[in-house]
Amino acid sequence: MGRTVPYLTVDDGVGALAFYAAAFGATAGERYDEEDGRIGFVALDIHGAPVFLSDEAHEYGAYAPKTLDGRSTCAVVVSVPDVDATYASAVAAGATPDRAPQDLPDGTRGGWLVDPFGHRWLVTSP
């Protein structure tokens, strides 16, 4: 069975790991570092959902939103047990609020934010 895993590129991998742990309770698993100290790959687990992450690697076409003038062409949706608490944790850790948590037409609750690395997130819960 196939699966889709978001693979985020950031301009500060070490800082991103700290942010995602504080904001979403992410834990890091398998990791490979480049000889120059950049994170080449790290597998994160966010409430059972995998997210891959690396530092920028222009030689491989991997650019962070900040390098692209803050442009991000997709968003990550993460389902959490308590959207309000997770949203507050993410903002306290440095995320920028976009749309505060609210009840959505599909019966879920969700809120939008932008992480310090330029990636857009919808934090949602049933």
Query: Each residue of 92-107: pLDDT tens digit?
Result: 999 999 999 999 999 9
Distant-in-sequence, close-in-space partners of 29: CB < 8 Å, separation ≥ 6: 42, 43, 44, 45
pTM, two decimals, is 0.92
Task: Let me know if residue 31 belongs to a domain.
Answer: yes
CATH number at residue 102: 3.10.180.10
Query: Each residue of 22-75: pLDDT tens digit?
Result: 999 999 999 999 999 999 999 999 999 999 999 999 999 999 999 999 888 899
- Cα gap 112→102, rounded to integer Å: 10
Task: Let me know if residue 46 belongs to a domain.
Answer: yes
Q: pLDDT band for position 3 (50/70/90)?
A: confident
**Number of domain units in the chain:** 1
Task: Let me know if residue 86 belongs to a domain.
Answer: yes
The three-class DSSP label of residue 32 is strand
Distant-in-sequence, close-in-space partners of 70: CB < 8 Å, separation ≥ 6: 118
Asked if 55 and 1 touch (Cβ cutoff 8 Å), the reply is no
Structural domain harbouring 48: 7-125
Task: Let me know if residue 2 belongs to a domain.
Answer: no
> For residue 119, how far is the Cα from the chain centroid?
6
Task: Let me know if residue 1 belongs to a domain.
Answer: no
Task: Let me know if residue 70 belongs to a domain.
Answer: yes
